Amino acid sequence: MTIPKLKKVFLLILATGLMYAVPAAAQFSVDLDIKSRYIWRGADFGNSPSIQPELSYALGGLEVGFWAAYATNGDPEGTEVDLWASYTHETDAGSFSVYATDYTFPVHHTGMIGAETWLDSDAHFIELGLGYAGTDALPISVFAGMFVHNDNDNSVYIELGYDADPVGFFLGFTPFESEAYGTSGAGIINLGITGTRELIITDNFSLGLSSSLIVNPYAENAHMLVGISF
Task: State pLDDT tens for residues 101-111.
Answer: 999 986 554 44
- To the question of pTM greater than 0.75 for the whole model, the response is yes
pLDDT band, residue 5 (cuts 50/70/90): low
Q: Could you read off the pLDDT of 69-102 as tens digits, one per residue?
A: 999 998 888 889 999 999 999 999 999 999 999 9
Q: Could you read off the pLDDT of 35-53 as tens digits, one per residue?
A: 999 999 999 998 999 999 9
- What's the rounded Cα separation, in Å, for the pair 146 and 99? 10
Instruction: Judge whether residue 183 has pLDDT over 50.
Output: yes
Cβ neighbours of residue 139 closer than 8 Å, sequence gap 6 or more: 162, 163, 164, 165
pLDDT band, residue 116 (cuts 50/70/90): low
Element (H, E) at 4: helix 3-21
- What's the rounded Cα separation, in Å, for the pair 77 and 101? 19
DSSP characters for 6-46?
HHHHHHHHHHHHHHHHTTSPEEEEEEEEEES--EETTEESS
Rounded mean pLDDT, 157-178? 97
Cβ neighbours of residue 179 closer than 8 Å, sequence gap 6 or more: 111, 112, 151, 152, 153, 155
